[in-house]
């Protein structure tokens, strides 16, 4: 073990790749390398070339290693956290058959609906896999591929999730973890294994899938000579199984068996995501009952349209993000890419309540309000699935942990405070997914529990800004909810 051991946590997201170089003893982030990821597609299609993810990882690691100022020999482990659900199809040589279908590709909505009606319907699915199929999940995307591109499906010799693909490039081993696997809808959170009936339903041979490691911090292999040469690292260092981005964020926050279990998290990124950690497996068709990567569970709900949608509205209006004002009579439902919670894959945005006196700033504020109400409604579903009543004062007054890019935006923070009426805890760490992945890498190198590692790091370096609760804006909350409820089966679809 070098005098200063360093681990690398990789966050391979929809838009970019980050490689955080973290002091394994203290949790201090020494450097973060970044590189962009390209997304293509229109009319519901969202695709990326997995080879570009690998190139971005190489660039991010090279930049981070240079900024870190330490020799490559100081690095003892690496782990990848990746965007969930994406379908990566590889040929017999391990090369992509076609671009990966991303989680926010909604073309597979008809296939998801057909799957959801099988196996006893929604309750049957939640009893098996913890989730009802929607367009995002990998099972629906594989079925879409078989129906629309049968030749590509026939050429497929291996099926991977995005983080699996990168882990295999690092270690030469086909491995995944329970957390990311639970987002496929062919892995059972009830049994902890692939569900053979689901695989038969979607016509997928289990031999095409990676082995499921016990957890994201498990050491699944060592960095190969070829990967080490590409990355400028030393061959033989520990490679962890890794996990999905949300599961890694939970680890970075210290959520799990070795940490806290009762703090709901609201993540404001390209998508808006809410989740909490629990030892009890939730069973609700309204949410995704994912596995966490450490043996606990991660009930989660996701909205497709969050910061990216609001930024699009700001760009259309020619405004900067923080010039927004309260929407007043306006309601803007920013479903620019369809929606996942509620399950409206073909939805479009909706603006109502315009007056001659309406300002551009109010339209932008209404976009913030629409996105925030959507995420907070999803939070209520997560709480109910976890056996909690959102209206119970002891529940409604609990602090929210606010993370993601939006947590750095003044108007995002103000809008969440105003519409939730809750106190907010905003961790100072900005790269929590990469930090969680770094904890997985440290666990793979040392054999420690990754959540315990992250909790120890927080005790040494973690700083959090606390925002007290303000009186809830129930008028805006009710107005937006009223429009949303009326439109679910109307012009929004």
d(CA 462, CA 441): 19
Residue 439 scores a pLDDT above 70: yes
First and final C-alpha spacing in the chain: 57
Task: Taking residues 243-260, report their average pLDDT.
Answer: 88
Predicted TM-score (pTM) of the model is 0.89
| Distant-in-sequence, close-in-space partners of 300: CB < 8 Å, separation ≥ 6 | 246, 273, 274, 275, 287, 288, 290, 382
Per-position DSSP letters for 303-348, written without gaps between them: ES-SHHHHHHHHHHHT--GGG----TT-EEE--BTBBTTTTBTT--
Residue 259 scores a pLDDT above 80: no
pLDDT per residue over 30-61, tens digit each? 999 999 999 999 889 999 999 999 999 999 99
> How high is the mean pLDDT of the chain?
93
DSSP E strand stretches across 162-204: 175-176, 187-188, 193-194
| Distant-in-sequence, close-in-space partners of 420: CB < 8 Å, separation ≥ 6 | 372, 376, 400, 472
Catalytic residue among 23, 245, 431, 449: 245
Domains of the chain: 6-249 (3.30.420.40)
The predicted pLDDT at position 491 comes to 46
Task: Taking residues 219-234, report their average pLDDT.
Answer: 98
The predicted pLDDT at position 340 comes to 80
pLDDT per residue over 175-208, tens digit each? 999 999 999 999 999 999 999 999 999 999 999 9
Task: Taking residues 298-322, report their average pLDDT.
Answer: 94
- Integer angstrom CA distances of residue 6 from 26, 31, 75, 79, 202: 10, 11, 5, 12, 42
pLDDT tier for residue 492 given thresholds of 50, 70 and 90: very low
**Which of 178-182, 241-245, 468-472, 488-492 has the weakest average pLDDT?**
488-492
pLDDT per residue over 372-423, tens digit each? 999 999 999 999 888 889 999 988 888 999 998 899 999 999 999 999 999 9
The predicted pLDDT at position 2 comes to 66
What DSSP designation does 465 have?
E
Task: Taking residues 6-29, report their average pLDDT.
Answer: 96
Task: Taking residues 122-149, report their average pLDDT.
Answer: 96
Nearest to 305 by CA among 283, 278, 332: 332
d(CA 225, CA 214): 25
What DSSP designation does 103 have?
T
Displacement of CA 262 from its chain's centroid (Å): 19
Ramachandran assignment for 411, one of left (phi > 0), alpha (psi -120 to 50 degrees), beta (any other) = alpha
**Which of 87-91, 261-265, 427-431, 438-442 has the weakest average pLDDT?**
261-265
Sign of CA dihedral 450, 452, 455, 461: negative
What DSSP designation does 3 have?
S
Q: Which residue has the higher pLDDT, 270 or 357?
A: 357
Q: Is 461 exposed, middle or buried (0-12, 13-18, 19+ CB in 10 A)?
A: middle
Nearest to 266 by CA among 417, 110, 105, 63: 417
9 in Cβ contact with 437 (< 8 Å): yes
Residue 81 scores a pLDDT above 80: yes
- Residues recorded for the chain: 493
| Distant-in-sequence, close-in-space partners of 466: CB < 8 Å, separation ≥ 6 | 399, 423, 424, 425, 426
Please count the helices (runs of H) and the strands (runs of E) in the chain. Answer: 17, 24
Residue 1 scores a pLDDT above 60: no
pLDDT tier for residue 308 given thresholds of 50, 70 and 90: very high
d(CA 310, CA 409): 12
Does residue 23 carry a catalytic annotation? Answer: no
d(CA 317, CA 366): 13
């Amino acid at each position: 073990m070098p005098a200063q051991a360093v681990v690398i946590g990789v966050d391979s997201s929809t838009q970019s790749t980050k490689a955080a170089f973290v002091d394994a003893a203290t949790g201090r982030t020494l450097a973060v390398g970044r590189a962009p990821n390209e997304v293509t597609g229109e009319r519901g299609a969202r695709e990326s070339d997995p080879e570009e993810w690998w190139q971005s990882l190489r660039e991010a690691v090279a930049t981070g290693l240079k900024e870190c100022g330490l020799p490559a020999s100081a690095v003892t482990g690496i782990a990848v956290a990746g965007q969930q659900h994406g379908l990566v199809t590889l040929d017999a040589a391990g090369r992509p058959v076609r671009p990966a279908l991303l989680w926010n590709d909604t073309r597979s909505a008809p296939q998801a609906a057909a799957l959801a009606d099988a196996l006893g319907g929604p309750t049957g699915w939640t009893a098996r896999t913890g989730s009802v199929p929607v367009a995002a999940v990998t099972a629906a995307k594989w079925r879409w591929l078989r129906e629309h591109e049968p030749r590509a499906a026939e050429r497929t010799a291996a099926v991977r999730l995005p983080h699996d693909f990168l882990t295999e490039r690092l270690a030469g081993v086909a491995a995944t973890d329970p957390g990311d696997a639970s987002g496929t809808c062919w892995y059972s959170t009830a049994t902890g294994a692939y569900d053979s009936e689901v695989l038969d339903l979607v016509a997928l041979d289990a031999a095409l899938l990676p082995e499921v490691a016990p957890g994201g911090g498990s050491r699944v292999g060592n960095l190969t000579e070829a990967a080490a040469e590409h990355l400028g690292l030393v061959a033989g260092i520990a490679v962890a199984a890794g996990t999905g981005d949300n599961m890694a964020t939970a680890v970075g926050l210290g959520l799990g068996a070795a940490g806290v279990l009762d703090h709901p998290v609201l993540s404001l990124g390209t998508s808006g995501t809410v989740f909490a950690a629990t030892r009890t497996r939730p069973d609700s068709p309204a949410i995704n009952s994912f596995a966490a990567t450490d043996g606990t569970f991660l009930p989660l709900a996701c909205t497709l349209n969050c910061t990216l949608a609001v930024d699009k509205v700001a760009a259309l209006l020619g405004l900067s993000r923080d010039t927004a004002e309260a929407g007043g009579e306006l309601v803007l439902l920013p479903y620019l890419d369809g929606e996942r919670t509620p399950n409206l894959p073909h939805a479009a945005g909706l603006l109502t309540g315009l007056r001659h006196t309406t300002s551009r700033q109010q339209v932008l504020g209404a976009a913030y309000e629409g996105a925030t109400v959507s995420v907070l409604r999803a939070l209520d579903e997560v709480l109910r699935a976890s056996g909690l009543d959102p209206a119970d004062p002891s529940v409604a007054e609990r602090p929210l942990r606010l993370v993601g890019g939006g947590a750095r935006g003044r108007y995002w923070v103000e809008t969440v405070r105003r519409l939730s009426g809750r106190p907010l805890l905003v961790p100072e760490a900005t790269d929590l997914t990469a930090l969680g992945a770094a904890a997985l890498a440290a666990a793979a190198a040392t054999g420690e529990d990754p959540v315990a590692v992250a909790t120890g790091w927080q005790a040494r370096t973690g700083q959090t800004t606390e925002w007290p609760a303000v009186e809830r804006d129930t008028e805006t909350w009710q107005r937006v909810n009223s429009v949303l409820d009326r439109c679910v089966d109307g012009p929004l679809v």
